[in-house]
Structure formats: structure tokens, C-alpha cells
Amino acid sequence: MTDTPATESDLRVLAAQLGREPRGVVAIAARCVCGNPTVVHTAPRLPDGTPFPTQYYLTHPEAVSAVSTLEARGVMKDMTERLAEEPSLAEQYRRAHETYLEERYALEDVPEIHGISAGGMPDRVKCLHVLVGHALAAGPGVNPLGDDALEMIRSHWRPDRCTCPALGTDPDAAVSLDPDAYTQEA
């Protein structure tokens, strides 16, 4: 994982992406190929004191929309069933949960959310946005269901192509990088 410091420009882009001021920004965990934030790394406790377990928050509007479509199709239920049927997948997902927690504890161990990661890990799938955010932040092979969701949305959004609204969405003008690389350093 390669966090990069959030700049004032990043914070303005995040505010536009979210439709509100970003809270608890630690860094940018993944960027669009154009340099805009795609995933923000958020503090485990927000400035107002609220515990916040979602440390990798997916912000890119096109990615959020594509993942929302998966959720609306009921993919989370199917993935949860796979966890019960595929022991090796369940073990990989448990390791993703443990990695998520280790990364959060490196920032702060918040007693109210100790042992709780996000997205339903380690036993179910509750939020694909979190799993995709984690997969983009950590890179391929860390969060298997986040990786699977990224593959499912590939025809609508990919981390190796810019579809930022301010830059347009002409696929012929999209920047193309290594399709196997989730994160992009700015």
C-alpha cells in the first residue's frame, strides 16, 4: 500500500466527489491515473470523536456508481454464500480482515471498534464499496472479494482509465496503464 499525502487540491476534489467536506483524511490511498483521489485513507476516529471503522473510503464517482450497481444486483449475498462454500476464499478473506485491522491499529486502536474491520469482514459481505476501496488501496491479492468486485465492474469502471467528470469520459481519450496495477502514485 502506498499512501500519498493529501494536498489542498485533493481535499477540494474529495469535497466535490463526496458532496461534503471530507473528514478525518489521513492520506490518499489510491489515485486515478490522472492523479485525482479514488480512495481516501480515513482516521479510525473522526475529528468530532466518532469511531469510524471504514479506513479505506471509495470516493471516485464512477467507481462508486459501478459498485452501487453490483450491490443493487445482490452480489453481496452471492459472495457471502461463497465464503461458506469455499474454505480457501474464506481464509483469504479472514487474512484481508486481519490486514485491515493491523493497518488501522498502526494509526490508532479505537476501543469502540477494536476487532471490527469493515464491509462485513471476516464472515460476510456487507459493503462492496469498502472491499473495493481496500483492494485498490492494498493492491491485488489482499482482499479477494474486493478483487472480484473490481473484475465485475471492469466494463464500467477500471482503475487504469480516467473517467473523472472534470476530464470527461471519452474512452478513446482515457489514459491506460497496467490493468493489473490498482494503485497509482501521483
Tell whether 166 is covered by a domain. Answer: yes
pLDDT at 165: 77
Tell whether 182 is covered by a domain. Answer: no
pLDDT at 24: 97
Tell whether 75 is covered by a domain. Answer: yes
Q: What is the mean pLDDT of residues 36-43?
A: 98
Tell whether 3 is covered by a domain. Answer: no
d(CA 90, CA 85): 8
pTM: 0.88
> What tens digit of pLDDT does each residue of 73-101 get?
999 999 999 999 999 999 999 999 999 99
Tell whether 183 is covered by a domain. Answer: no
Tell whether 137 is covered by a domain. Answer: yes
Tell whether 181 is covered by a domain. Answer: no
pLDDT at 1: 66
Identify any residues that bridge with 103 across adjacent strands, giving them in sequence order: none
Please give the biggest Cα pair distance in the chain.
Answer: 49
pLDDT at residue 178 is higher than 80: no
Confirm if 53 and 118 have CB atoms less than 8 A apart: yes
Tell whether 81 is covered by a domain. Answer: yes
List, as one string, the DSSP characters of 141-180: TS-HHHHHHHHHTTTT--TTS---GGG---GGG-----TT
Confirm if 113 and 51 have CB atoms less than 8 A apart: yes
Residue 139: which domain range? 8-173
pLDDT at residue 166 is higher than 90: no
Domain count, the chain: 1
